[in-house]
Amino acid sequence: MIRIGFLMRDMLCSTIYDKARVKSILIIRMNRIGDMIYTLPVIRTLKKEFPFAKITVLAEPANAEVASTEAAVDEVLVYRKGRGLFHNRYSRIALLLGARRFDLAVSVKGGFSSFFALIAAISGARYRIGYRSSSGHILDKLYNLPADPIDFSRTHQLDACLHLLSPLGIGEHIRDISLRIPNTFLEKASAFFCKKGIEHRDNVIIMNISSNRAASAWSPERFVALGRALSEESGCFSIVCSSPDEAQQARDVSGRIGENSYYYQTESPLAFAAAASLCSVLVSGDGGASHLAAAVGTPVVALFGKTSPGIWRPHGEMNIVLQAEQGGVEAIPVKNVLAAILSAGLLIKKVKD
């Protein structure tokens, strides 16, 4: 009821933005791993603008771990879907926010979302930022510092996220998406590589065989063919990873590639990021793995099907995007991926005897 009172107060009274009043910030960023990675620049920019403000991130289980590594974040609240009588997501979010008071709420999403608008309202924040609907929506009024919509079909997610801050008049944005990996994950990955005799980063490929979307999935047979071809061409090591539910399939792919190919168990996003940081290049369908690798500075060959690379290509000049002319990622030939890796010098080509 208190939050509703704050909301009614702000809707009935004109809002004059006063930077000095911002002492507590709520960042709303649900969804997946890539979504949170491209929210990191927003968080860092806000921390620079409001150095003494407490920053809280509202996340979901899939992307909360990424937010938890960010030094500018003081608290991560993880929203989990309920069941039965406790399935109402708005009441669960209200309970999760509890008695916390926020001065600024930012709904970070590349476009208008009624769900995010309502979360911003539930937060009771004095100032609420989010994209207005391009066609006009009754819930636009829940944002008292709205951002004007842009052409989201031609705008990379990083730029779409940062544009949200335009109502605050911030002159310079931080575009850094780098991810800090805790030592425990790095030590585990390093120990695994050392045990397998992998000493140099310049000849190790990591392949993520999992995808949340069928159109973004490359078949196990194609990963096997690529691993074998790269082993023949460069004598490289292959690290095969997957989501936990596809672990056996990843083991099978690694075994079929043969010598110098190893399955590495990645039970979390940071476990994968640690392994990727020790490799020369990642090959993966578009999705969270490609953005994690980009965030730790590992070159990426990202395979795109129907997803727009203009919006979701991994950020960074060294990354390569291959897109199927028609259909999904499966239409991309192995030879094209092999050529992209070798021509870019991402692996050292073996000198033939």
User: What pLDDT is attached to residue 281?
Assistant: 97
Question: Is 212 in the same domain as 159?
Answer: no
Question: Is 222 in the same domain as 336?
Answer: yes
76 contacts 67 by C-beta, under 8 angstroms? yes
pTM score > 0.75 for this model?
A: yes
Listed range (62-71, 76-85, 160-169) with the worst mean pLDDT: 76-85
- pLDDT tens sequence across 171-193: 899 999 999 999 999 999 999 99
Confidence of residue 327 (pLDDT cuts 50, 70, 90): confident
Considering the chain, what is the average pLDDT of its residues?
92
Question: Is 247 in the same domain as 271?
Answer: yes
User: What pLDDT is attached to residue 349?
Assistant: 65
DSSP code of residue 218: P
Task: Give the pLDDT mean for 268-292.
Answer: 96
User: What pLDDT is attached to residue 212?
Assistant: 85
Confidence of residue 292 (pLDDT cuts 50, 70, 90): very high
End-of-domain residue from the set 168, 191, 224: 168
DSSP string, 68-83: HT-TT-SEEEE-----
Question: Is 31 in the same domain as 151?
Answer: yes
End-of-domain residue from the set 168, 202, 229: 168
Question: Is 155 in the same domain as 222?
Answer: no
- The residues facing 75 across adjacent strands are 56
Q: Find the helix or strand (DSSP H, E) in which 254 lies.
A: helix 247-257
CA angle, corner 350, sides to 348 and 352, nearest 5? 160
How far apart (Å, rounded) are the C-alpha atoms in residues 26 and 123? 8
Please report whether residue 352 resides in a domain. Answer: no
Question: Is 152 in the same domain as 227?
Answer: no
Percent of the chain at pLDDT above 70? 93
Please report whether residue 177 resides in a domain. Answer: no
Please report whether residue 348 resides in a domain. Answer: no
- pLDDT tens sequence across 217-269: 999 999 999 999 999 999 999 999 999 999 999 999 999 999 999 999 999 99
- pLDDT tens sequence across 16-46: 999 999 999 999 999 899 999 999 999 999 9
User: What pLDDT is attached to residue 350?
Assistant: 59
Structural domain of residue 66, as residue ranges? 2-168
Number of domains, the chain: 2
Confidence of residue 2 (pLDDT cuts 50, 70, 90): very low
User: What pLDDT is attached to residue 81?
Assistant: 84
- The residues facing 240 across adjacent strands are 207, 263
Please report whether residue 283 resides in a domain. Answer: yes
User: What pLDDT is attached to residue 214?
Assistant: 85
* Position 12 pLDDT exceeds 70: no
